[in-house]
């Protein structure tokens, strides 16, 4: 069997290694936009951000889309902002099955990845699945126990993928709530920026816990807009991913918030991290959504103000703490 992975970052590479470990006879092709990096990984079998792990020989790296079989199972592991550009160059068929392994909204359309595949690229819902959960690549590649969820309206596909990814250190559940799994995974990145701000500003554990728990409430605010099963938001892709991203040293979004809390600008923080922090673009989309639909999402809105209106983080904390008193919901 042939599997294509679009994206050779830490997550795309880790997914490939996980499958290679489970299915050593499968051919796994990972597309990397940079030709020289692709050649370097191919020859060294080492990824620069996963340097303690040797990549299995049944994984091929390429920067040429012509080397990919467009009818094979395809895993999208590029940043959400790059999905549309990549798919416009990728020759796939009506039968191609996709696994979405990125978390966020398309910055141009405001669509979730599955919506983008359906509306712009006419991919049938039965051929779309989502892989999500509290999954830091650095821990999975190190064989530390992790769990994830595969969501699809196609139950047969979800079960097939559950078996594909399952490993004694990687437990996989299935779900039919495609929208709920994506929304939880996207919004938590913005809350993680806020969590990092708490650490950077040295506000203490109480403030951070309050912010993360109220952030969970903002995830739930979106359940009617996207027709989400509330249980999904309290599952691995929602609450589970929120906890991991808000507290882990591996979280780019948390680190971005931390650096801004320490006085760095957004541009300086992004440059220091060196990889995409999905919460930045997601923040823009959520701000527009909350305004258009009159949703109460004060944490996400204050993060927007900090990132794009140059609001002082301390002022944003003051704004959150002095909002009108209300019943907890």
C-beta separation of 309 from 315 below 8 A:
no
Say what the pLDDT of residue 276 is. 87
Backbone angles phi, psi at 91, to 5 degrees: -85, 100
Tokens of 270: 């992004």
Catalytic residue positions?
188
Q: How confident is the model at residue 131 (pLDDT cuts 50, 70, 90)?
A: very high
Q: Does the domain made of 2-176 have the CATH classification 2.60.34.30? A: no
CA distance 295 to 59: 45
Q: What percent of the chain has pLDDT over 70?
A: 100
* Average pLDDT of span 127-140: 97
Angle ∠(223,81,249) on CA atoms, nearest 5: 75
**Mind giving me the DSSP string for 108-174?**
TT---HHHHHHHTT---GGGEEEEESS--HHHHTTT--EEEEEE-S-HHHHHHHHHHH-BTTEEEEE
Mean pLDDT score of the chain: 96
Q: Using alpha carbons only, give the angle 72, 76, 80 rounded to the nearest 5 degrees.
A: 155
Read off the DSSP letter of residue 104: S
Largest CA distance in the chain: 61
The average pLDDT across 148-175 equals 98
Q: Which CATH class is domain 187-322?
A: mainly alpha
Residue 313: pLDDT over 80: yes
pLDDT of amino acid 117: 98
Whether the pLDDT of residue 329 is over 80: the answer is no
CA gyration radius for the chain?
19
pLDDT at 31: 97
pLDDT at 275 over 90: no
**Local structure of 147: helix, strand or coil:** strand
Task: For residues 34-49, give the mean pLDDT.
Answer: 93
Please write the tens of the pLDDT for every residue from 58-116: 999 999 999 999 999 999 999 999 999 999 999 999 999 999 999 999 999 999 999 99
> Where are the domains positioned within the chain?
2-176, 187-322
Closest residue by Cα to residue 192 from 268, 260, 251: 251
> What is the pLDDT, as a whole number, of residue 185?
97
- Give the three-class secondary structure for 178: helix
Q: pLDDT tens for residues 214-256? A: 999 999 999 999 999 999 999 999 999 999 999 999 999 999 9
Angle of CA points 211, 184, 310, to nearest 5°:
50
For the CA atoms of 33, 38, 41, 44, the dihedral, rounded to the nearest 10 degrees, stands at -160
Could you report the per-residue pLDDT of 11-29, keeping only the tens digit for each? 999 999 999 999 999 999 9
d(CA 218, CA 48): 36
Q: Which two tokens stand for residue 285?
A: 């989309």
Residue percentage of the chain with pLDDT more than 90: 98
Q: Is the pTM of this model over 0.85?
A: yes
């Amino acid at each position: 069997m042939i599997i294509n992975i679009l994206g050779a970052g830490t997550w795309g590479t880790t997914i490939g290694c996980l499958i290679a470990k489970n299915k050593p006879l499968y051919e796994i092709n990972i597309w990397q936009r940079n030709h020289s990096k692709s050649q370097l990984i191919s020859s060294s079998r080492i990824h620069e951000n996963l340097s303690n792990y040797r990549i299995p020989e049944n994984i091929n790296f390429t920067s040429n889309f012509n080397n990919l079989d467009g009818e094979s199972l395809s895993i999208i592991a590029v940043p959400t902002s790059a999905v549309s550009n990549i798919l416009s160059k990728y020759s796939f068929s009506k039968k191609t099955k996709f696994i979405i392994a990125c978390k966020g909204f398309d910055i141009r359309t405001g669509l979730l990845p599955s919506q983008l595949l359906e509306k712009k690229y006419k991919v049938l819902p039965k051929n779309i699945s989502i892989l999500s959960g509290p999954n830091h690549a650095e821990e999975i590649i190190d064989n530390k126990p992790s769990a994830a969820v595969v969501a699809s309206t196609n139950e047969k596909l979800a079960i097939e993928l559950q078996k594909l990814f399952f490993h004694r250190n990687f437990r996989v559940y299935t779900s039919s709530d495609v929208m709920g799994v994506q929304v939880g995974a996207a919004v938590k990145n913005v809350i993680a920026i806020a969590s990092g701000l708490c650490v950077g500003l040295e506000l203490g554990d109480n403030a951070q816990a309050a912010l993360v728990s109220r952030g969970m409430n903002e995830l739930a605010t979106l359940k009617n807009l996207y027709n989400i099963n509330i249980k999904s938001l309290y599952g691995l892709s929602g609450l589970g991913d929120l906890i991991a991203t808000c507290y882990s040293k591996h979280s780019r979004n948390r680190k971005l918030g931390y650096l801004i809390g320490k006085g760095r600008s957004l541009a300086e923080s992004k440059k220091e991290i060196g990889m995409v922090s999905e919460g930045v673009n997601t923040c823009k989309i959520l701000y527009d959504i909350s305004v258009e639909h009159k949703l109460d999402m004060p944490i996400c809105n204050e993060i927007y103000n900090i990132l794009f209106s140059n609001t002082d983080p301390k002022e944003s904390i003051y704004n959150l703490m002095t909002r009108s008193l209300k019943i907890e919901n």
